[in-house]
């Protein structure tokens, strides 16, 4: 019997129904299953409870998701304010450890939205908040619309850098993406390479230069349209192929 590919997904921590929950949005979980051909496994954000790198030895890939929370600014040397909230410190601790561990091990890594920002912070980069207020920047926030499909609609182009991992995956100089963020990469992390930018210069995708394994961070949400958008599907197919190659190595 062939065992399924397993992809580790760091949990968000949420309090509701009188409990503290460790959870993940199902759009990411379904995209891993349908788009990458792997089984997602939510890893609880019990940051002091286990050796993260030892845990990763049981997996074939890591996917870090988007979230309503933001990376705590103390992690990149900025004083916290209401403009940076809300936070999830346990998610920060787990995700950063999983990202660093995955890169060290050559374990395939796909980092989306918050995960993309975590990847930058994990490599010493910083984040800018409320980027729509910066000179020359567009408004990248989610539109205030009632339907989720309208909020996640594909809205703007990004320019894909020549010679990069993303260009190889999507096979195009430009793709169109959705936009649901108010924070973005400010100073690029050490050793990261820009893979795509928006028209206003916002860093929309990065990779780890010289990494042994597949590493890609994207600011948008390919998980939402993995079954209908060619670029989104290509990203998850490439991630799944990398996970299978890692399993076979």
Within a domain: residue 39? yes
Overall domain count for the chain: 1
Within a domain: residue 98? yes
Within a domain: residue 69? yes
Name the active-site residue from 116, 140, 221, 243.
221
121 within 8 A of 217, measured Cβ to Cβ: no
| Domain CATH code at residue 14 | 3.40.50.880
Q: Can you give the three-state secondary structure of the chain, one letter per residue?
A: CCCCCEEEEECEEEEECCEEEEECCHHHHHHHHHHCCCEEEEECCCCCCCCHHHHHCCCCEEEECCCCCECCHHHHCCCCCHHHCCECHHHHHHHHHHHHHHHHHCCCEEEECHHHHHHHHHCCCCEEECHHHCCCCCCCCCCCCCCHHHHCCCCEEEEECCCCHHHHHHCCCEEEECCCCCEEECCCCCCEEEEEEECCCCEEEEEECCCCCCEEEECCCHHHHCCCCHHHHHHHHHHHHHHHHHHHC
Is 1 a residue whose pLDDT tops 80? no
Q: Is 113 a catalytic residue?
A: yes
* pLDDT tens-digit readout, 160-182: 999 999 999 999 999 999 999 88
* pLDDT tens-digit readout, 108-131: 999 999 999 999 999 999 999 988
C-alpha span between 225 and 223 (Å, rounded):
6
Q: Which residues contact 36 (CB under 8 A, 6 or more apart)?
A: 5, 7, 61, 236, 237, 239, 240, 243
* pLDDT tens-digit readout, 28-74: 999 999 999 999 999 999 977 789 999 999 999 999 999 999 999 99
**Mean per-residue pLDDT over the chain, rounded:** 94
Name the active-site residue from 113, 116, 204, 243.
113
- Per-residue pLDDT, 249: 66
C-alpha span between 113 and 205 (Å, rounded):
10
pTM of the shown model: 0.95
Token pair in block for residue 19 = 């409990």
Q: Residue 140: which pLDDT band, with cuts at 50, 70 and 90?
A: confident
* pLDDT tens-digit readout, 191-236: 999 999 999 999 999 999 999 999 999 999 999 999 999 999 999 9
Within a domain: residue 1? no
Within a domain: residue 195? yes
Closest CA to 5 of 110, 134, 160, 153: 110
Q: Residue 24: which pLDDT band, with cuts at 50, 70 and 90?
A: very high
Q: Is 72 a catalytic residue?
A: no
Q: Which domain holds residue 96?
A: 6-248
Name the active-site residue from 84, 118, 223, 243.
223
- Per-residue pLDDT, 131: 85
């Amino acid at each position: 019997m062939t065992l399924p590919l397993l992809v580790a997904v760091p949990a968000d921590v949420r309090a509701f129904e009188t409990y503290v929950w460790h959870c993940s949005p199902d759009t990411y979980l379904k995209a891993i299953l349908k788009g990458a051909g792997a089984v997602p496994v939510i890893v609880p954000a019990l940051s002091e409870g286990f050796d993260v790198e030892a845990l990763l030895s049981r997996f074939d890939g890591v996917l870090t998701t988007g979230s309503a929370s933001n990376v705590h600014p103390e992690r990149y040397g900025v004083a916290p304010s209401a403009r940076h909230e809300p936070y999830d410190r346990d998610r920060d601790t787990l995700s950063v450890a999983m990202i660093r561990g995955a890169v060290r091990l050559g374990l395939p890594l796909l980092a989306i939205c918050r995960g993309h920002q975590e990847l930058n912070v994990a490599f010493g980069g910083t984040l800018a908040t409320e980027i729509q207020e910066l000179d020359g920047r567009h408004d990248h926030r989610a539109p205030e619309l009632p339907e989720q499909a309208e909020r996640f609609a594909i809205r703007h182009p990004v320019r894909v850098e020549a010679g990069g991992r993303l260009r190889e995956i999507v096979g195009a100089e430009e793709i169109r993406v959705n936009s649901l963020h108010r924070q973005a990469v400010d100073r690029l992390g050490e050793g990261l390479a820009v893979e795509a930018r928006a028209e206003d210069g916002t860093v929309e995708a990065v990779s780890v230069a010289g990494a042994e394994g597949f590493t890609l961070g994207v600011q948008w949400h390919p998980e939402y349209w993995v079954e209908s958008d060619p670029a989104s599907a290509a990203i998850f197919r490439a991630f799944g192929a990398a996970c299978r190659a890692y399993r076979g190595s």
